[in-house]
């Protein structure tokens, strides 16, 4: 562990110690508001939480004390602390196909971590030979709580999950499925965008970037620009459960359409009564008895037909509302959680891409591959992603 010295501009060794009995795979820092908390995972199937303490007051030989978070049944390949706006939670991804969430009982001592939820990403029996899992938290505080993207080599896919109830996670969407192993995934900071950006790294040498819309409220701008909304209409983006609503010309159209159908039925009944009254007034009162009987039969037929027919104005009004409802349903259906592939980047020469990471604004993507080169990717003004820089310690710039 190294500390940055502002005066000298150099990194100074803080502490060096043996943390695990096997290779250390990943490290993850918790947010500074929780103190100096570091997590490490290893092929020895353990997850350890490290805290920095004062060795003089604590009578410790080391500045860092550890707590083992209950041993796992398989190698732990990926760990990540949840964003700081949530509670202190860490997610672990093991090669047995499970993602487990832990939180401490005491956020100060951090000596007892409890299981807060499990995701069965790869159901069935999985082993270390099936390959590792990777995960990344959603960093936006305005999105659904505790959203996380998980990728795995056994399933060769990327899925997005969210916490529907406390300690219960459900799948929101499967972003994509590949013919190669998924080695890494990273969720970009939102920075006020109306969509999320998620990058994946695969063993086929491809880096894929997706736009992800998680909720209709993220697409308000698109709804206001819809061709189904006329100028001057008032929009109501309020949600009731899963039924999003639009308010057009003072009429509230829900995705179920039950309220509008009731109103249409009432209007049709009133108009049908008016039609029956008009037809009854046309009956000739001076006809003979036989004619009256015939006319009575005719009136009965007219009444039955009038009960099933609708005036042209009512029919046009009903068709207009039906089309408007279908249009609103079509727009709202398009705003269900969905994704779009916006970048398919290829590393030359083709070789596995091990890591991808976004910068703090989600505008620059850095990747590292087996050739020892770190590449930087950025989107152009027309939305095309291109390589803008390459960094390596083993080759000269002319060889890149």
- The residue that leads in pLDDT, 375 or 152, is 375
- The residue that leads in pLDDT, 317 or 144, is 144
Lowest mean pLDDT among 128-137, 148-157, 161-170, 210-219: 210-219
Q: How far is CA 342 from the centre of its chain?
A: 16
Tell me the three state secondary structure of residue 17: coil
Cβ distance 255 to 241 under 8 Å? no
Q: d(Cα 171, Cα 180) in Å, to the nearest integer?
A: 22
Q: State residue 37's pLDDT score.
A: 93
Question: Tens of pLDDT along 59-112?
Answer: 566 788 888 887 788 889 999 999 988 889 999 998 888 999 999 988 788 888
**Rounded mean pLDDT of the chain?**
76
- The residue that leads in pLDDT, 330 or 363, is 363
The end-to-end CA distance of the chain, in Å, is: 32
- The residue that leads in pLDDT, 176 or 297, is 176
For 128, counting Cβ atoms within 10 Å of its Cβ (0-12 exposed, 13-18 middle, 19+ buried), the class is: middle
Residues composing the chain: 400
For helices 258-280 and 312-334, what crossing angle results, to 10°?
A: 170
Question: Tens of pLDDT along 14-56?
Answer: 889 889 999 999 999 999 989 899 999 998 999 999 998 876 6
Q: State residue 57's pLDDT score.
A: 57
Question: Tens of pLDDT along 185-214?
Answer: 999 998 888 899 999 999 999 999 999 987
334: number of CA atoms within 13 Å, CB side? Answer: 10
379 - beta bridge partners? 385
């Amino acid at each position: 562990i190294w500390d940055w010295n502002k005066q000298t501009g150099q990194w100074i060794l803080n502490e060096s110690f043996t943390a695990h009995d096997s290779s250390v795979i990943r490290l993850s820092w918790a947010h500074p508001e929780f103190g100096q908390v570091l997590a490490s995972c290893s092929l020895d199937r353990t997850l350890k939480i490290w805290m920095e303490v004062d060795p003089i007051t604590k009578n410790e030989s080391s500045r860092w004390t550890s707590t083992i978070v209950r041993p796992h049944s398989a190698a732990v390949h990926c760990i990540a602390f949840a964003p700081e706006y949530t509670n202190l939670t860490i997610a672990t991804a093991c090669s047995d196909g499970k993602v487990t969430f832990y939180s401490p009982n005491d956020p100060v001592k951090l000596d007892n971590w409890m299981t807060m939820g499990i995701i069965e990403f790869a159901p069935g029996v999985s082993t270390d030979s099936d390959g590792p899992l990777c995960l990344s938290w959603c960093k936006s505080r305005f999105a659904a709580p505790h959203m996380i993207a998980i990728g795995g080599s056994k399933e060769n896919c990327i899925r997005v999950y969210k916490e529907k109830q406390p300690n219960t996670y459900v799948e929101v969407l499967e972003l994509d499925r590949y013919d190669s192993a998924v080695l890494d995934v990273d969720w970009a900071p939102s920075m006020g965008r109306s969509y999320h950006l998620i990058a994946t790294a695969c063993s086929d040498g491809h880096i894929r970037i997706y736009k992800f819309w998680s909720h209709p409220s993220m697409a308000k701008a698109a709804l206001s620009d819809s061709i189904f909304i006329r100028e001057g209409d008032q929009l109501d983006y309020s949600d009731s459960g899963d039924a999003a609503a639009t308010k057009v010309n003072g009429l509230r159209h829900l995705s179920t359409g039950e309220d509008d159908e009731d109103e249409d039925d009432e209007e049709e009944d009133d108009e049908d009564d008016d039609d029956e009254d008009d037809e009854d007034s046309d009956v000739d009162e001076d006809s003979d008895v036989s004619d009256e009987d015939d006319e009575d039969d005719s009136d009965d037929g007219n009444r039955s037909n009038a009960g099933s027919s609708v005036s042209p104005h009512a029919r046009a009004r009903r068709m207009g509302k039906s089309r408007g409802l279908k249009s609103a349903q079509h727009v709202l259906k398009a705003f269900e959680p969905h994704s779009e592939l916006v970048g398919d980047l290829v590393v030359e020469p083709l070789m596995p891409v091990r890591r991808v990471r976004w910068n703090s604004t989600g505008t620059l993507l850095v990747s590292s591959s087996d050739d020892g080169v770190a590449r930087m990717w950025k989107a152009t003004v027309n939305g095309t992603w291109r390589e803008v820089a390459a960094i390596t310690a083993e080759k000269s710039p002319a060889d890149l």
